[in-house]
Chain A
Amino acid sequence: MSELLQFAFSGLTVGAVYALVALGFTLIYNSCDVINFAQGEFVMLGGMTTVFLGLAGVPLPLAACLAVVVTVAVGLALHRFAIEPARGNGAVVLIIITIGASIFLRGAAQVVFDKRFHSLPPFVGGDAIRIAGASILPQSLVVLAGAVIILVLLWSFIERSLIGKAMVATAANELAARLVGIDTRATVGLSFAISAAIGAVAGILITPIALTSYDIGTLLALKGFAAAMLGGIGSAVGAVVGGLLLGLLEAFSAGYVSSQYKDAVAFLVILIVLLAMPRGLFGGAPVERV
């Protein structure tokens, strides 16, 4: 029993990390149908910038805020100098641009920061909380809470605010959105800025658990993308559920099947789910765009 609980705690810890990354995909996808593969690099920038500002003597809370600002600036620059000039080229071209941007950001981080691993102190106490023979780190709860808070904010932003509606409209039909008076360029730019901020916050929250280095973005983006697909890309709730599910799948297959094949088991389950529900768990029915 305590084993089961421990696997679940491990799954939730890792899953919360994936959920935070997956949430970052949601917004940009909702505004321009693009899957931003540089999302993992936003996560890396958030963590690494905080670490290096901290090393330079900046108090950590301030360093974290500055890291978010820096990452947002990078997100805006990515939109302004790479995405915007290529608008009208279709989603595939833009996705490939984001892959290029992710390689560029990784290379730049290697030069600006370094190639070593770094950590941050946990936000609230370092001692594990023990429940029925299993243990979980307080920082895992912080990450989980962070994922839920971002989820609520994001959901109310997309569903309840006019700007959020404008983003969805832009993704659905850019020309029609412009005709009803939406500044589509600013809308897409804003979605990059907010996604960058989500990524940076994710990076800061997970660094005390998962550590950070210049190249963590690639795998996080891959896992986050898998989580977002599982939950239904574009759905904020789906991103969180997908992330947690993926984490739990990995933990249970590592615990009960074999640690060698845990990634394979997790991805197999995702393939099966997507075969049965091609739009993911919360993807909803395809919307006809007329």
Chain B
Amino acid sequence: MLAYAKTGAFIALLLAIGAGEARAQVRLGAVLSVTGPASFLGDPEKKTLEMYVDDINAKGGVNGQKLQLVVYDDGADANAARTFATRLVEEDKVVAMVGGTTTGATLAMIPVFEEAQIPLISLAGAIQIVEPVRKWVFKTPHTDKMACQKIFADLKQRNLTTIALISGTDAFGKSMRDQCVAVAPQAGISIAHEESYGPRDSDMTPQLTNIKGKPGVQAVVNPGFGQGPAIVTRNYRQLGITLPLYQSHGVASKQFIDLAGPAADGVRLPAAALLVAEKLPGNDPQKPVVVSYTDNYQQKTGQPVSTFGGHAYDGLMVFVEAAKRAGSFEQAKVRDEIEKTKNFVGTGGIVNMSPNDHLGLDLSAFRMLEIKGGDWTLVQ
């Protein structure tokens, strides 16, 4: 009997501590694809959020209150994401949400947060999340469309206007190809020829031979992800094509240079500032942010930094700054302040939101890089 009483008292004590904790904390939700096919996105996002929420709490929290991060793993399944979204709203009573990782998961969760009137800051790529603008929905990552525009702007600067596209038939390649085709006329670029390749193909010389044979083509753009662009680059040099070659932000990693080898020399591609943190000039406004994030992330996780974790950092900080300006966690006030975000320097660029723009990035978010001697250089 005594044992029971003791246990009971212990549980009551635990509950009291738990309740005390809960009152002092504000809950921030995050539905991320930590496992599954999108884990290379969701895993760094989760680590980043945990790292920075701890850091913020250690420095006294926000508006005098500590943040409690509630993370659910949707495994890149949109149905699971929606279930977790409902749980965040109804049970966890979060004040805002940073996530989901994928476009599918985000689109599935939007109705839940719109109805509950809770701000959602998505970490997914597609433009459809913020176009058309929804009152409670924001996002931090740059879009394919911006990558296309950045490449086209660089082409115009070099007086190159007629291009050929060779794109992967995977989701990334297709989506970016569509965006590039859509924005080409406005940018004054004409696409003279188009080729594609399967995501697992091991030789693209037939497609490139056709491009080589087209008269008038001045440059080649390759929207693609994975190993395809590396093989395209090698085959490009193998065939001795000398036209400028542009890759996409999808391969903006050291791995691409390793795989393509010496063939990568001279290839240009748009990439987030985060990837070239050390190479940015000292007066670059983003430099302190990206260098500090890179150092923190690599030190805490022992893994190389990726832009995906950076998007999570931006999402969290946009929320935190907005909550500070609002002076409370009242959802409507926080939402209004998120929309008023101006000159926020994040890892993905300088964010200037407005009632018609819930992304707030312009083309300066991308840096044009050229590969020289097996390393990145910034194109001025």
Contact = CB atoms under 8 A, between A and B. Distances in A.
8 contacts: A7-B205, A7-B206, A10-B209, A13-B203, A126-B261, A126-B262, A128-B239, A210-B202
> Considering the complex of A and B, which 10 residue pairs feature the smallest CB-CB distances, nearest first?
A210-B202, A255-B206, A254-B206, A10-B205, A117-B227, A128-B238, A219-B200, A6-B209, A211-B227, A259-B195
Contacts, number: 80
Of the candidates A210, A252, A254, the one having the most CB atoms from chain B within 10 angstroms of its own CB is A254
Interface string B60-97: 00000000000000000000000000000000000000
Interface string B197-211: 110111101110110
Contact of A213 (B207, B209, B227): B227
Interface of A: 3, 6-7, 9-10, 13-14, 17, 115-119, 126, 128, 130, 135, 137, 206, 209-211, 213, 216, 219, 251-252, 254-255, 259-260, 262-263
A219 B226 CA distance: 15
Given A6-B239, A13-B203, 7 more contacts: A13-B202, A14-B203, A117-B226, A119-B261, A254-B197, A254-B206, A255-B210
Nearest to B260: A119
A130 B240 CA distance: 10
Nearest to B198: A263
Is chain A's binding surface mostly helix, strand, loop or mixed?
Answer: helix
Contacts of B200: 216, 219
B203 A10 contact: yes
Interface of B: 40, 169, 195-198, 200-203, 205-207, 209-210, 213, 226-227, 230-231, 237-240, 255, 258-259, 261-262
Contacts of B210: 3, 255
B252 to A, nearest CB: 15
Contact of A117 (B213, B239, B259, B261): B259
B307 to A, nearest CB: 16
Contacts of B226: 117
A284 to B, nearest CB: 31
A10 B234 CA distance: 13
B202 A14 contact: yes
Contacts of B195: 259
A14 B231 CA distance: 13
Contacts of B238: 128, 135, 137
Contacts of B227: 117, 211, 213
Contact of B259 (A3, A17, A211, A260): A211
A117 B255 contact: yes
A33 to B, nearest CB: 29
B202 A17 contact: yes
Contacts of A128: 237-240
A17 B231 CA distance: 15
B257 to A, nearest CB: 11
A135 B227 CA distance: 21
Contacts of A254: 197, 206-207
B203 A6 contact: no
Contacts of B255: 116-117
A177 B43 CA distance: 55
Contacts of B213: 3
A118 B238 CA distance: 19
Given A255-B210, A259-B196, A263-B198, A6 B205 contact: yes
